[in-house]
Chain A
Amino acid sequence: MIGTLGSLLPAPLVAAVGQVGEGFFHERSSDTLPCQAQPGHLFCFDWAREHIDRFEKPALQQLELVVLSVLLGFVVAFALALIAHRKHWLRPPLLAVTGVLYTIPSIAFFFLLLPLTGFGRDTAIIVLAAYTLQIIYRNTMVGLAKVPASVKDAARGMGLTDRQILWRVEIPLATPEIIAGLRIATVSTVAIATLAVFIQAGGLGTQIYGSGNLTFPTVVIIAGAIGMLMAFAFDLMLLGVQRLTTPWRRAVVT
């Protein structure tokens, strides 16, 4: 899939913006030098077409980072929310702790964990998961709180136990909010996972923050575009999951 990415880019547009910033210093060399050796080029289409393969491995690494950390974050945050749903006194401290974890800039967080977990993927996953906690936890709590008391009363009247009410009534009704939280968390994580390169955890960041890449816009644009496409793909997929898991909402005419 990634291999075909280069051919999707509109060539005339790329050629047009490629002319930006070419001063008289480069006029003579522009005929002979390949595009990537000339400063001021926004996007080198030829280079992109030839080198698109090198993005495959970083993209898959990034995908792995995102999936594992969002899964971990979801399991932890969802469990915390269910506990806090029963034990009201836990809510303020949980909100505060997840809030602080959310506030710590991820790049600082990566390095704060280094003395404990070292370089590599594990540290990145822990940090990215910690970052998602607040969003998923808060959305789950909002979703559970929105379930009308009358619905729970009706369920209780039909003979459901507290546990059954939670799993069969409250959580299904809270699903749109829960998935909304999951969407925000996933999209943010895709973007932040780019920074995992700083602790040698791979990902698309390797293509941006590599030797000389920082000054070569083409590589940065491709890596950034793959990241954004990945984020949108996750977003659409989760939206689909929400539609599938809440069939009753499709019947509601508002």
Chain B
Amino acid sequence: MIPVHPVFASFSGAIEFIFTPQPSNVTGGKLVGGFTQSMELLLTQLEVTLIAVVLALIVALPLGLYLGHRGIGEVLAIGLGNAGRAIPELAVIALVASLIGVGLLTVAPALAILGIPPILTNAYVGVREVDRSTVDAARGMGMTELEIIRRVELPLAIPTVMSGVRGATIAIVATATIAPLAGVTTLGDYIINENVYGQNGVLAGAILVALLAITLEGLLALLQWRLTSDGLKLQTA
């Protein structure tokens, strides 16, 4: 394919930018980029992502499990999940920045909003899909409702629940990339501020964000495998 536009940047230049500081275009030859700054931005992105995922889990997981267990609130659990996908991330970040204020404390809860729908829907669906006779058997054995959720429904629903958590994490880490618009300098700073970091910086940011997301997804897949009970693994194998 022939590039219609002038070549934007080179991958080798971007990789060099990640490890070695380069003189900036605008700040009078001040050095930008390099390993220290890259790690700093990466850690900030990881931090805001993890806080947001945990917040979303705290809100959505118990609610989804409870609604699923009781078999109520399908409209809320499913409808919110569908509506949640339609929320434009850019609008959420922009609104938070202009109305509530900038910084980690406002961005993290805003990102959590994007994570709640997938976790809620999947927790609900996961529990609903558990065979009702299994639940009846657990009740017959004298388990309390809380024990049924914790020891029967949740373990059986883990694959579905975790796929919701993975979806939420992907959405949150992706949106954390535009968090610099709301004053949290994540890796997106490289991408958004081309005038400071240059084209190599933009590409470097994109590479790091992609690697971060893929790594998180891989780790969560591993976690899902560890959390899935051996009985379920045998069944699907």
Return the contact of A115 from the options B8, B86, B97, B177 (Cβ within 8 A).
Answer: B8
> Which stretch, B15-23, B60-68, B122-130, B202-210, touches the partner chain A?
B202-210
> Which stretch, A23-31, A156-164, A202-210, touches the partner chain B?
A202-210
Q: A100-B214, A108-B213 are in contact. Are A224 and B95 (CB under 8 A)?
A: yes
Is the CB of B9 closer than 8 A to any CB of chain A?
A: yes
Contact string against B for A residues 178-222, beta-carbon threshold 8 Å, 1 for contact and 0 otherwise? 000000100110111011011000001100110001111100110
Q: Majority SS of interface residues in chain B?
A: helix
Contact string against A for B residues 8-45, beta-carbon threshold 8 Å, 1 for contact and 0 otherwise? 11110000000000000000000000000000000000
Alpha-carbon separation in the docked complex, A96 to B1 (Å): 25
Q: How far is the CB of B137 from chain A (nearest CB, A)?
A: 26
Alpha-carbon separation in the docked complex, A120 to B4 (Å): 10
Q: Majority SS of interface residues in chain A?
A: helix
Which residue on chain B has the smallest CB distance to residue A112?
A: B206
A235: chain B residues within 8 A (beta carbon): 82, 86
B83: chain A residues within 8 A (beta carbon): 228, 232
Q: How far is the CB of A42 from chain B (nearest CB, A)?
A: 7
Contact between chains at B209 and A105 (CB < 8 Å)? yes
Q: A100-B214, A104-B210 are in contact. Are A204 and B82 (CB under 8 A)?
A: no
Contact between chains at B173 and A105 (CB < 8 Å)? yes
Alpha-carbon separation in the docked complex, A232 to B87 (Å): 11
Alpha-carbon separation in the docked complex, A114 to B99 (Å): 33
A130: chain B residues within 8 A (beta carbon): none
A108: chain B residues within 8 A (beta carbon): 174, 177, 191, 205-207, 209-210, 213
Contact between chains at B4 and A118 (CB < 8 Å)? yes
Contact string against A for B residues 80-92, beta-carbon threshold 8 Å, 1 for contact and 0 otherwise? 0011011111111
Return the contact of A208 from the options B94, B173, B191, B192 (Cβ within 8 A).
Answer: B94
B236: chain A residues within 8 A (beta carbon): none
Alpha-carbon separation in the docked complex, A217 to B94 (Å): 8
B115: chain A residues within 8 A (beta carbon): none
Between B5, B7, B88, B174, the greatest number of chain A beta carbons within 10 A of the residue's beta carbon is seen for B88
Q: How far is the CB of B34 from chain A (nearest CB, A)?
A: 19
Q: How far is the CB of A25 from chain B (nearest CB, A)?
A: 16
A205: chain B residues within 8 A (beta carbon): 88, 90
Contact between chains at B207 and A112 (CB < 8 Å)? yes
Contact between chains at B214 and A104 (CB < 8 Å)? yes
Is the CB of A117 closer than 8 A to any CB of chain B?
A: yes
Contact between chains at B191 and A188 (CB < 8 Å)? no
Contact between chains at B3 and A103 (CB < 8 Å)? no
Q: A114-B203, A115-B203 are in contact. Are A232 and B3 (CB under 8 A)?
A: no
Contact between chains at B206 and A220 (CB < 8 Å)? no
**What is A's interface to B at a CB cutoff of 8 Å?**
21, 42, 99-100, 102-112, 114-120, 122, 184, 187-188, 190-192, 194-195, 197-198, 204-205, 208-209, 213-217, 220-221, 223-224, 227-228, 231-232, 235
22 contacts between A and B (CB under 8 A): A103-B213, A103-B214, A105-B177, A107-B174, A107-B191, A108-B209, A111-B205, A112-B203, A114-B9, A115-B9, A117-B4, A184-B85, A191-B85, A197-B90, A204-B88, A208-B91, A209-B94, A213-B94, A217-B99, A224-B88, A224-B92, A235-B82
